[in-house]
Amino acid sequence: MFDTAYELGASTNLKNRQGFTALTLAALLARKQMFFHILNLNRDIYWRFGNIASAAYPLEGIDTIHQNSGEILPKSALNLIAFGVRCFLVLAFAG
């Protein structure tokens, strides 16, 4: 279903009411296969030699630091993978 929506032009950067993208929601719910599937859809492959490839991944939504302001992003994929829901809830109630 996700692939069909993506092929028809759906964006993977849209956020739900809780502020999660498809990638960060997959990280929050610990859906490993879906996380890597979405991550691979967003990559840019520069070159490939056999089964080895050089690829670039966008850091928006993955990195824990906002690229413009330098703030910590509690809903980033790396933050959710490393600390889980507990850290998200602590940061939400602290702020």
Domain boundaries, the chain: 2-94
pTM, to two decimals: 0.76
Question: Residue 94 — pLDDT band, cuts 50, 70, 90?
Answer: low
pLDDT value at position 86?
Answer: 64
pLDDT value at position 8?
Answer: 92
pLDDT digits (tens, 9 = 90+) for 38-84: 999 989 999 999 999 999 988 888 888 888 888 888 888 888 888 87
Query: What DSSP assignment string belongs to the chain?
Result: -HHHHHHTT--TT---TTS--HHHHHHHTT-HHHHHHHHHHS-EEEEEETTEEEEE---TTTSSB-TTT--B-TTSHHHHHHHHHHHHHHHHHH-
Q: Which fold would CATH assign to domain 2-94?
A: 1.25.40
